[in-house]
Amino acid sequence: MKPEDDPWLKNAHKNAEHLAGEIKKLSSLTGPIQSNLPIITKYQDFWNTAKHVTGLFKALKPLAHDDRDLLWKQFNTLCQDVKEKQKSEYGMLKSLSLGHFDEILKQVELAQIPADAPPRDIYRLVERGQALKTAGELLAKYKHEMLAKHKKTCFDRIQKVRTSHDALWETLNAEKPHPKAENVSHVQKNLELNTERYRKAAVALENFQISAAHIRRFLATSDDPEKIARATAQLAETERRINDIKEGIQNFEKWIEEDERTLKGE
């Protein structure tokens, strides 16, 4: 019997070719990665595919011993290289995150009201409120470049100071004539509605940004003209949606700020 007529050898060769093709696909995922995405997001496609390939090594039978050893060596080397790159990037991200962490907490410190400050010093409160706003804006700006533990600490500190500011504003406003109850109710409803719209828009923006990153990675590795044309059109539409959402978020932020100022009696 000729080797090519041996069913076992034919199946083993077919399985080896399939496995080699999957490893090649995995290798293509090590190309350019969007720098503004969190590390776990940047590498999730690679490690999800690597998990799939690991399962193939167990499931594909028959597979010649020499083919398996060679393919496993290629696969293992690829995974080790990506693991080292990810580890290196984590180190750089940690350093970058600490820089943002310190910058944000510096604004939080500036926003704190001293214990011995006059209780009705509205000018000091407005000044410290601007620092608190800056801290929140910096956290939103740098969130994709920060470790989760640093983001959480900054968020908790900002919320704590914001609570103390709100309490002081309530004290100040208690001495001012308030708008009519029905007007307050209307403004409060608007504030809640715009806050929810802002939250949904922020989630949508992040999802579209991730989709755009996936398309860019595909365009960086694909050599199929037809697929590239479709992906390019899809990317243009996705980027248009991103710009529309960003514009909407800016409006929501402005309306939220106006409603908050109205409720504080400014």
> Alpha-carbon dihedral of residues 102, 108, 109, 112, nearest 10 degrees?
-170
Residue 43 has pLDDT above 50, yes or no: yes
pLDDT confidence tier of residue 153, bands split at 50, 70 and 90: very high
> Mean pLDDT over residues 103-124, rounded?
82
Query: Nearest CA to 210 among 42, 96, 89?
Result: 42
What is the maximal distance between C-alpha atoms in the chain?
Answer: 101
Which 3-state string (H, E, C) describes 74-103?
Answer: HHHHHHHHHHHHHHHHHHHHHHHHHHHHHH
Q: Are 146 and 140 in contact (CB under 8 A)?
A: no
Residue 115 has pLDDT above 80, yes or no: no
pLDDT confidence tier of residue 177, bands split at 50, 70 and 90: low
221 vs 39, residue with greater confidence: 221
For the ranges 34-38, 79-83, 121-125, 237-241, the lowest mean pLDDT is seen at 34-38
> Mean pLDDT over residues 138-165, rounded?
90
172 vs 195, residue with greater confidence: 195
The whole-angstrom separation of Cα 160 and Cα 243 is 33
Residue 263 has pLDDT above 60, yes or no: yes
In one-letter notation, the amino acid at residue 234 is Q
* Average pLDDT score over the chain: 82
How many Cβ atoms are within 10 Å of 161's Cβ, its own excluded? 22
Query: Which residue reads 């290289």 in tokens?
Result: 81
pLDDT confidence tier of residue 181, bands split at 50, 70 and 90: very low
Residue 124 has pLDDT above 90, yes or no: no
What does the pLDDT read at residue 1?
44
What does the pLDDT read at residue 132?
92
Provide the whole-model pTM: 0.42
Give the tens place of pLDDT for each residue, 189-213.
Answer: 888 888 888 888 888 888 888 888 8
Q: List Cβ neighbours of 188 (8 Å cut-off, separation of 6 or more).
A: 259, 263
What does the pLDDT read at residue 94?
82
pLDDT confidence tier of residue 91, bands split at 50, 70 and 90: confident
Residue 104 has pLDDT above 60, yes or no: yes
For the ranges 19-23, 55-59, 86-90, 223-227, the lowest mean pLDDT is seen at 86-90
